[in-house]
């Protein structure tokens, strides 16, 4: 084999730009305030093939470079060419991948390579690796090459080769070499002796990244002492009295917190020190989530499938059902923000594809929680700066979503210091499927039978992604393994999605699920419960590199794979379809009804576990929970001096600039939110298309205005006072956002995604009882509000170890519930957006403002600045949700009736911020009077975040009808939209705020625009 | 009369195939999504279709340049079929990634007015936006009324979204542009919506974001010398209905007052597809 180097660089000249170089230059300016004169870029390819270098050189313009815009050199570094690089640079940095890391451009180049050398006999053994070189000119003093390189790569997955100024003057250029994978040695299955003392059981679990506790290890130990088990094992020729490494790994994956949700399933002894309550809760999940949803399922006919599948399915109309799932990818995103987030979004897409007999992903949602992007404080070891996490995560979901052709229609970005320790990366996907397939089967029901052939479809299995499920069940440390990090390959997945949906419609699929956490062990293991058994041959599994051991093949979480079962008579058609789509599909197992999870490697049995033990053998955790109300210092705004002249005006501009409130447009605009030609309400709305959208609205069937609403709510600040209030606020916000778009409140469903810090009391977590009590309270509020709103939780997920470090340096995230809502919108021609539409529009408050400033955004802002001493006080509560929902129904139907085209949720920053955002969206002014909105203080009525409130705009000619429509519901006339281009808010005769709309636009848009412009 | 058969390519990361097929069907076409490999492997023949659409997407992830790898597959494997298609007078449209594919196969802009049929030589390119960012934002387009393009007949101005990271249209020299301009092949341009309708087109580069990508001469789309092959970066299919226009809750979404398919709700983008269907029906 020969390695041929091909380099490509943009042509210089009139109208031509080196855009990749410009992006690096702008980001150095934007993130670090470093001004570099010029950055140029070179793309490199290292082609490992049996072709002569001259053969490749003749065809470079057919593949590697675009002759209109690029120059290319074969086997020579551009940097050594004085023709192309006449000036000596100040630094040159080359970034390439580490061996074995997914190199998508390299794979694409290889595909193209086969197209241009179609008849070459050696084409199939070639492989191509890619790199980028950045060349810096006019670098300020004191900027070291090493530091520059560190900003350009993540050494967990990439390599950097550098040349500083001295090396550049000497012509010592960075020449990166081909990343040869180290050979893997296949280890035969090992006997794992569990007849050892308890301490050794614990250390075996820890050193092996098994994340199993002592009781679980002992449960496994005793399983292998069972005589019947030993006899059965002897009969199939596997070690009788101890697990193999394959079995132990398989059990660890299947029993992981990630897969089994052991805390939500635990038996909790709960004490409330305030009320004296002392009770046992047997599974939060069954009690507070499953039971209410199942109760509701008896009342409605549209809840088709809840909890047991990869996502929850509701009937949307006669012909179509829709489903939704949201996941988190927090730990991988902390280690490699780009790859971690990308695998998050493409992973949850597969949950949709793996729902029923296969649903088509049609919309994504992304919600992120980060540390402050302008953080100047200390950073713990091994953690990236929040701005870097932000950029990387954003890029990952952008590439993952855009390349998959799935619009990102809704999301949020939340900031808090504590997310520095662990960013939260929530990725959600909505899917659609025909209620009935052409062959008459209902699409939401899987139909496997014993004897069906089980295929692995899509990507191959590699060393990447080993231990993802167990790793995410541990806290992040400096030693966290790089194999838990992967980069997604959206195109491989897109080909697979196209093929799977064709196979579904052709009736070829009897069962399908995603390969995510736990890999084949989970996917085949879970599907095997339908027929009560399976037999897998790991030797048949196609590998990225030879030499993987049996346990690695079984648990690897390599991406882009589905597990699909096909009837033996349909296999030929399935194979042909895979071939047409150039998708790898390999039969690796058969469903049986033996009751056993039987894994072979060729002829040898390497795992033999009963389905019952595998799935139901994990012992229930017994946990302690104790609630005491936090008592942070009170927020006392009355003591804050206000300018005589300007009143609250400066506060409004500062609030609009708060990262939690500021516009995220420059980030969100980089997501494709309109592919599929269905997005009716886009993430940004209004006359300049830059006002905030409350919820996504789509009309997925072309030509038909029947719609779907997708929204979310998240309020982690409130956990500082009461995680129960936090949960209620999140749900209420999600529903209110959906109401603003005209959702049918009688046909909506929700997803609960809990991200919590470790809540099991231990040396590492001395406050575990309190954190668990927070979880109990959150779930109790979830049940109470969802029952009142008749809002079923159809699918949820929890991530329970969101901490960094230990002891003094431990950082735990604030308990965070993301609540997502999706539901029916009867006719998208009648919906509303937040922007004021025209002068003369009447502004109404729907809902009641109360004395609830505790943990409000204004309290946090003034505490952070030192103007206030605390954030404590009354947190917003939802005392009568059954009344709220009637108001929501009235407002939503008013929108559906065409009475209201302007509606905005009132949350962070209260009425002041909501009104400001509506002026921004319409580029209009408004005169608003908050007198008459209740008995609360001025601060509460202006900035308070009481739940259940909206601001709406009503055209004068519709005002009388609107008042009649809302009879019996709390509405207050606040004022009128004006073309004066300023917002005034008064309290009777007292003017509180008077700010130009242009100033509000500037304040709101500036903070998070980290693009560095276009110059 | 039988509805014109439209082949809408899909596979390998094309992802606007569903909506592109849907808009042809709305205006009387008979659209079918056909996997690229079905043409390459000979399972299906382009001869059986009267219109070809190459939709938007991220074919092969746009690695090695947008549209390049799919363009290569078509250039090497479908050369004769594509040549025969254009020679038979059948329309082709490429939208976004499809436009990039048509440019990289050399179908656009094509040779010249004297010998207009495809020679599969790449003469232009679509490269990274000056901003360096992929963006989804709405733009305003105007069309050259004198263009031979059969797709844009009678359309003056439309609003629609762009969704790309590589939409900057470039050619090696100004004479190349002048030649295309002389033949009215610079069909679609980004314009400043505040200019009166019909007066927006200019060669002078417009600032971001009026021109979202820094395209030379504000070019959003071009046609070949026959007027049959048309490519554009923006997405007219994404505004087939007024409810997809950002101004629809402001009751000011532009578009025809009535239509036979969507009543008062037809969006501005649909006419492009109707033009091709009517062209085929008129030339049978």
Separation between Cα atoms, residue A81 and residue A79, nearest integer Å = 5
Host domain of residue A138: 2-169
The one catalytic residue in B96, B149, B160, B223 is B96
Separation between Cα atoms, residue B87 and residue B115, nearest integer Å = 11
Nearest-CA neighbor of A732 among A600, A850, A882, A913?
A: A882
Query: How much is the pLDDT for A121?
Result: 60
Please answer whether residues A279 and A632 qualify as being in contact, where contact means their C-beta atoms are separated by less than 8 angstroms: no
Contact flag A672-B130 (C-beta cutoff 8 Å): no
CA distance A953 to chain B (A): 12
Separation between Cα atoms, residue A652 and residue A646, nearest integer Å = 11
Asked if residue A399 belongs to a domain, the reply is: no
Q: Which phi and psi angles does A500 have, rounded to 5°?
A: -65, -40
Domain count, chain B: 1
Contact flag A105-B76 (C-beta cutoff 8 Å): no
Same domain, A127 and A238: no
Write the DSSP assignment of A700-743 as a string of letters. Answer: -STT---EEEEEEE--GGGGGT-HHHHHHHHHHHHHHHHHHTT-
Host domain of residue B155: 5-282
Query: How much is the pLDDT for A468?
Result: 59
In this structure, what token pair is assigned to residue B258? 């009535």
Separation between Cα atoms, residue B245 and residue B261, nearest integer Å = 17
Query: How much is the pLDDT for A85?
Result: 96
Please answer whether residues B265 and B242 qualify as being in contact, where contact means their C-beta atoms are separated by less than 8 angstroms: yes
Q: How far is CA B215 from the centre of its chain?
A: 15
Q: Is A675 on the interface with B (CB under 8 A)?
A: yes
Each residue of A157-166: pLDDT tens digit? 899 999 999 9
Same domain, A925 and A864: yes
- Among A115, A398, A829, beta carbon nearest to B134: A398
Q: How many alpha carbons fall within 13 Å on the CB side of residue A48?
A: 12
Query: Which residue in chain A has the smallest CA separation from B265?
Result: A829
Chain A residue numbers with beta carbons less than 8 Å from the beta carbon of B64 are 63-64, 105, 108-109, 112
In this structure, what token pair is assigned to residue B2? 């039988």
Nearest-CA neighbor of A60 among A48, A68, A52, A72?
A: A72
The one catalytic residue in B164, B166, B235, B268 is B235
Residues A459-487, mean pLDDT to the nearest whole number: 65
- Mark whether B237 is an active-site residue: yes
- Mark whether B96 is an active-site residue: yes
What are the C-alpha distances in Å from A82 to residues A178, A323, A514, A850, A901? 25, 59, 52, 72, 63
- Among B60, B129, B262, beta carbon nearest to A703: B262
pLDDT confidence tier of residue A478, bands split at 50, 70 and 90: very low
DSSP state of A689: T
Q: Which phi and psi angles does A708 have, rounded to 5°?
A: -130, 140
Nearest-CA neighbor of B157 among B172, B167, B142, B171?
A: B142
Asked if residue A493 belongs to a domain, the reply is: yes
Same domain, A260 and A164: no
Nearest-CA neighbor of B151 among B82, B78, B234, B71?
A: B234
Please answer whether residues B24 and B8 qualify as being in contact, where contact means their C-beta atoms are separated by less than 8 angstroms: yes
Residue A602 has pLDDT above 90, yes or no: yes
Asked if residue A824 belongs to a domain, the reply is: no
Each residue of A802-822: pLDDT tens digit? 999 888 889 999 999 999 999
pLDDT confidence tier of residue A99, bands split at 50, 70 and 90: confident
Contact flag A675-B163 (C-beta cutoff 8 Å): yes
What are the C-alpha distances in Å from A322 to residues A363, A368, A527, A820, B60? 11, 24, 22, 14, 29
Q: How far is CA B117 from the centre of its chain?
A: 18
Each residue of A714-737: pLDDT tens digit? 999 999 999 999 999 999 999 999
What are the C-alpha distances in Å from B109 to residues B125, B162, B279? 10, 20, 21
Residue in this structure with the two tokens 């021609």, named with its chain if needed: A829
More confident residue, A15 or A8: A8
The one catalytic residue in B142, B166, B237, B268 is B237
∠ CA A533-A536-A540, nearest 5°, is 160
- Chains A & B: contacts with CB separation below 8 Å: 204
Residues A236-248, mean pLDDT to the nearest whole number: 95
Write the DSSP assignment of A566-609 as a string of letters. Answer: E-GGGHHHHHHHHHHTT--EEEEEEE-SSSEEEEEETTEEEEEE
Same domain, A257 and A164: no
Which residues, other chains included, contact B247 with Cβ-Cβ below 8 Å and sequence gap of 6+? A687, B253, B254
Separation between Cα atoms, residue A971 and residue A991, nearest integer Å = 22
At A31, which CATH number?
3.30.1280.10
Please answer whether residues A321 and A432 qualify as being in contact, where contact means their C-beta atoms are separated by less than 8 angstroms: yes
At A231, which CATH number?
3.90.650.10
Residues A400-420, mean pLDDT to the nearest whole number: 97
Please answer whether residues A793 and A750 qualify as being in contact, where contact means their C-beta atoms are separated by less than 8 angstroms: yes
Separation between Cα atoms, residue A45 and residue B135, nearest integer Å = 28
Same domain, A60 and A199: no
User: Percent of chain A having pLDDT more than 70?
Assistant: 98
Query: How much is the pLDDT for A181?
Result: 78
Residue A475 has pLDDT above 60, yes or no: no
Residue A412 has pLDDT above 80, yes or no: yes
Domain count, chain A: 3
Chain B residue numbers with beta carbons less than 8 Å from the beta carbon of A488 are none
Handedness of CA A945, A947, A952, A958 (dihedral sign): negative
- Among A406, A689, A901, beta carbon nearest to B246: A689
- Mark whether B245 is an active-site residue: no
State whether residue B89 is helix, strand or coil.
Answer: coil
Same domain, A581 and A642: no
Query: How much is the pLDDT for B247?
Result: 97
Each residue of A532-574: pLDDT tens digit? 999 999 999 999 888 889 998 998 888 899 999 999 999 999 9
| Least confident span in A219-228, A553-562, B159-168 | A553-562
**Neighbour tally for A16: CB within 10 Å:** 17
In this structure, what token pair is assigned to residue A131? 């790199």
Same domain, A151 and A256: no
Q: Is A522 on the interface with B (CB under 8 A)?
A: no
Residue A776 has pLDDT above 80, yes or no: yes
pLDDT confidence tier of residue A188, bands split at 50, 70 and 90: confident
Each residue of A943-995: pLDDT tens digit? 999 999 999 999 999 999 999 999 999 999 999 999 998 999 999 999 999 99
Q: Report the phi/psi class of residue A556: left, alpha or beta, with left for phi > 0 and alpha for psi in -120 to 50.
A: beta
Asked if residue A597 belongs to a domain, the reply is: yes
- Among B57, B133, B135, beta carbon nearest to A405: B57
Contact flag B23-A677 (C-beta cutoff 8 Å): yes
Query: How much is the pLDDT for A469?
Result: 54
Separation between Cα atoms, residue A900 and residue A958, nearest integer Å = 8
Same domain, A163 and A211: no
Chain B residue numbers with beta carbons less than 8 Å from the beta carbon of A924 are none
**Neighbour tally for A965: CB within 10 Å:** 17
Asked if residue A1015 belongs to a domain, the reply is: yes
Please answer whether residues A927 and A984 qualify as being in contact, where contact means their C-beta atoms are separated by less than 8 angstroms: yes
In this structure, what token pair is assigned to residue A112? 């193209």
Separation between Cα atoms, residue A413 and residue A426, nearest integer Å = 10
Does ipTM exceed 0.85? yes
Please answer whether residues B15 and B57 qualify as being in contact, where contact means their C-beta atoms are separated by less than 8 angstroms: yes
Separation between Cα atoms, residue A145 and residue A136, nearest integer Å = 10
Separation between Cα atoms, residue A519 and residue A231, nearest integer Å = 29
Query: How much is the pLDDT for A218?
Result: 96
Average pLDDT taken over every residue of chain A: 94
At B110, which CATH number?
3.40.50.880
Separation between Cα atoms, residue A107 and residue A582, nearest integer Å = 14
Residue window 473-502, chain A: list those with CB within 8 Å of chain B: 490-491, 494-495, 498
**Neighbour tally for A6: CB within 10 Å:** 25
Asked if residue A880 belongs to a domain, the reply is: yes
Same domain, A145 and A234: no
Chain A residue numbers with beta carbons less than 8 Å from the beta carbon of B124 are 68
Chain A residue numbers with beta carbons less than 8 Å from the beta carbon of B214 are 17, 1014
Same domain, A144 and A226: no
């Amino acid at each position: 084999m020969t390695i041929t180097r091909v380099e490509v660089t943009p042509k210089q000249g009139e109208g031509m730009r080196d855009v990749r170089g410009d992006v690096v230059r702008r980001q150095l300016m934007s993130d670090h305030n470093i001004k570099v004169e010029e950055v140029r870029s070179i793309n490199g390819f290292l082609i490992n093939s049996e072709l002569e270098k001259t053969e490749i050189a003749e065809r470079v313009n057919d593949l590697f470079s675009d002759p209109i815009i690029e120059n290319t050199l074969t086997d020579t570094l551009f940097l050594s060419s004085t023709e192309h690089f006449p000036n000596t640079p100040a630094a040159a940095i080359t970034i390439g991948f580490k061996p074995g890391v997914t190199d998508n451009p390299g794979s694409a180049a290889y595909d193209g390579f086969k197209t241009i050398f179609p008849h070459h006999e050696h084409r199939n053994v070639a492989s191509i690796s890619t790199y980028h070189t950045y060349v810096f000119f006019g670098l300020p003093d004191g900027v070291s090459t090493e530091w520059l390189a560190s900003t350009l790569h993540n050494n967990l997955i990439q390599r950097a080769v550098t040349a500083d100024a001295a090396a550049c003057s000497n012509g010592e250029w960075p020449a990166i070499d081909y990343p040869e994978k180290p050979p893997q040695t296949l280890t035969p299955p090992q006997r794992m002796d569990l007849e050892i003392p308890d301490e050794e059981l614990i250390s075996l679990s820890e050193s092996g990244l098994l994340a199993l506790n002592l009781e679980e290890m002992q449960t496994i130990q005793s399983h292998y002492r069972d005589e019947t088990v030993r006899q059965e094992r002897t009969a199939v020729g596997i070690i009788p009295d101890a697990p193999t490494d394959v079995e132990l790994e398989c059990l660890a994956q299947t029993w992981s917190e990630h897969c089994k949700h052991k805390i939500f399933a635990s038996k909790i002894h709960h004490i409330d020190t305030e009320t004296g309550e002392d009770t046992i809760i047997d599974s939060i999940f069954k009690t507070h989530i499953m039971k209410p949803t199942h109760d509701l399922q008896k009342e409605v006919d549209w809840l088709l499938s809840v909890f047991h599948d990869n996502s929850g399915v509701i009937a949307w109309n006669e012909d179509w059902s829709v489903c939704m799932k949201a996941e988190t990818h927090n730990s991988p995103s902390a280690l490699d923000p780009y790859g971690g987030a990308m695998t998050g979004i493409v992973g949850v897409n597969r949950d949709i594809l793996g729902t029923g007999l296969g649903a088509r992903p049609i919309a994504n949602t992304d919600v992120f929680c980060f540390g402050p992007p302008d953080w100047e404080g200390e950073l713990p070891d091994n953690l990236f700066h929040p701005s870097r996490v932000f950029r990387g995560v954003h890029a990952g979901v952008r590439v993952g979503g855009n390349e998959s052709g799935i619009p990102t229609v809704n999301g949020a970005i939340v900031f808090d210091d504590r997310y520095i320790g662990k960013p939260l990366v929530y990725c959600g996907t909505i899917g659609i499927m025909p209620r009935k397939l052409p062959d008459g089967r209902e699409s939401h029901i899987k139909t496997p039978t014993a004897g069906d052939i089980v295929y692995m479809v899509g990507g191959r299995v590699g060393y990447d992604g080993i231990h993802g499920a167990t790793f995410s069940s541990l806290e992040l440390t400096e030693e966290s393994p790089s194999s838990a990090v992967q980069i997604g390959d959206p195109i491989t997945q897109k080909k697979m999605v196209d093929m799977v949906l064709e196979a579904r419609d052709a009736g070829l699929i009897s069962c399908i699920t995603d390969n995510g956490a736990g890999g084949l062990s989970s996917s085949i293991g879970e599907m095997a419960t339908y027929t009560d058994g399976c037999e897998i041959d790991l030797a048949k599994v196609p590998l990225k590199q030879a030499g993987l051991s049996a346990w690695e093949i079984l648990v690897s979480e390599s991406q882009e794979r589905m597990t699909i079962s096909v009837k033996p008579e349909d296999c030929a058609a399935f194979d042909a379809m895979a071939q047409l789509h150039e998708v790898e599909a390999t039969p690796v197992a058969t469903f049986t009804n033996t009751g056993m999870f039987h894994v072979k490697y060729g002829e040898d049995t390497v795992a033999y576990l009963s389905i019952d033990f595998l799935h139901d053998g994990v012992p229930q955790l017994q946990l302690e929970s104790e609630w005491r109300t936090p008592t942070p210092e009170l927020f006392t705004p009355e003591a804050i001096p206000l300018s005589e002249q300007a009143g609250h005006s400066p506060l409004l501009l500062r609030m609009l600039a708060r990262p939690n409130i500021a516009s995220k447009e420059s980030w969100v605009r980089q997501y494709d939110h309109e592919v599929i030609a269905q997005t009716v309400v886009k993430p940004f709305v209004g006359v300049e298309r830059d006002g905030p959208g409350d919820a996504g609205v789509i009309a997925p069937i072309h030509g038909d205005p029947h719609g779907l609403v997708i929204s979310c709510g998240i309020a982690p600040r409130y956990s500082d006072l009461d995680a129960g209030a936090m949960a209620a606020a999140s749900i209420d916000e999600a529903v209110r956002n959906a109401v603003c778009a005209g959702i049918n409140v009688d046909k909506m469903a929700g997803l609960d995604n809990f991200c919590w810090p470790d809540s099991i009391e231990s040396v590492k977590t001395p406050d575990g009882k309190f954190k668990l009590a927070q979880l109990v309270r959150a779930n109790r509020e979830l049940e109470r509000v969802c029952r009142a709103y008749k809002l079923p939780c159809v699918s949820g997920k929890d991530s329970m170890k969101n901490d960094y470090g230990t002891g003094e340096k431990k950082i735990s995230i604030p308990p965070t519930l993301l609540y997502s809502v999706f539901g029916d919108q009867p006719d998208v021609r009648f919906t509303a957006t937040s922007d004021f539409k025209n002068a003369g529009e009447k502004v109404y408050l729907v809902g009641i403002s109360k004395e609830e400033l505790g943990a409000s955004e204004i309290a946090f802002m003034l505490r952070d600045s030192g103007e206030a001493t605390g954030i404590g006080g009354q947190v917003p509560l939802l005392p009568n949700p059954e009344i709220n929902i009637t108001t929501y129904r009235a407002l939503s139907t008013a929108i559906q009736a065409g009475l209201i085209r302007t509606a905005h949720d009132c949350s962070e920053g209260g009425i002041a911020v909501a009104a400001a955002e509506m002026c921004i969206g319409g580029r209009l002014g408004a005169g608003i009077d908050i007198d008459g909105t209740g008995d609360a203080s001025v601060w509460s009525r202006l900035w308070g975040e009481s739940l259940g409130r909206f601001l709406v705009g009503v055209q004068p000619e519709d005002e009388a009808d609107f008042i009649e429509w809302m009879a019996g519901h709390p509405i207050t006339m606040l004022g009128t939209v004006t073309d004066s281009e300023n917002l005034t808010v008064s309290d009777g005769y007292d003017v509180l705020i008077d700010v130009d709309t242009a100033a509000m636009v500037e304040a709101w848009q500036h903070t998070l625009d980290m693009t560095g412009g276009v110059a | 009369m039988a509805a014109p058969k439209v082949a809408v390519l899909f596979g390998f990361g094309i992802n606007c195939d569903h909506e592109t097929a849907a808009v042809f069907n709305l205006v009387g076409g008979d659209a079918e999504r056909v996997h690229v490999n079905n043409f390459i492997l000979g399972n299906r023949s382009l001869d059986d279709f009267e219109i070809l659409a190459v939709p938007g997407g991220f074919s092969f992830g746009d690695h090695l340049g947008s549209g390049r790898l799919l363009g290569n597959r078509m250039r090497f494997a479908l050369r004769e079929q594509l040549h025969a298609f254009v020679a038979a007078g059948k329309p082709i449209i490429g939208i976004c990634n499809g436009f990039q594919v048509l440019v990289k196969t050399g179908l656009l802009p094509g040779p010249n007015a004297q010998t207009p049929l495809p020679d599969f030589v790449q003469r232009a390119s679509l490269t990274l936006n000056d901003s360096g960012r992929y963006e989804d934002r709405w733009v305003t387009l105007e069309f050259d009324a004198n263009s031979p393009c059969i797709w844009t007949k009678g359309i003056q101005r439309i609003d629609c979204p762009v969704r790309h990271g590589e939409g900057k249209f470039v050619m090696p020299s100004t004479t190349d542009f002048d030649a295309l301009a002389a033949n009215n092949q610079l069909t679609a341009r980004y314009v400043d919506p505040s200019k009166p309708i019909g007066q927006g087109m200019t060669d002078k580069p417009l600032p971001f974001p009026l021109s979202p990508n820094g395209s030379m001469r504000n070019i959003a789309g071009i046609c070949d010398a026959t007027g049959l092959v048309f490519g554009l970066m923006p997405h007219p299919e994404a505004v087939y209905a007024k409810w997809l226009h950002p101004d629809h809750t402001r009751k000011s979404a532009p578009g025809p007052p009535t239509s036979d398919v969507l009543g008062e709700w037809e969006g501005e983008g649909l006419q492009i597809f109707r033009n091709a269907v009517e062209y085929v029906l008129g030339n049978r």
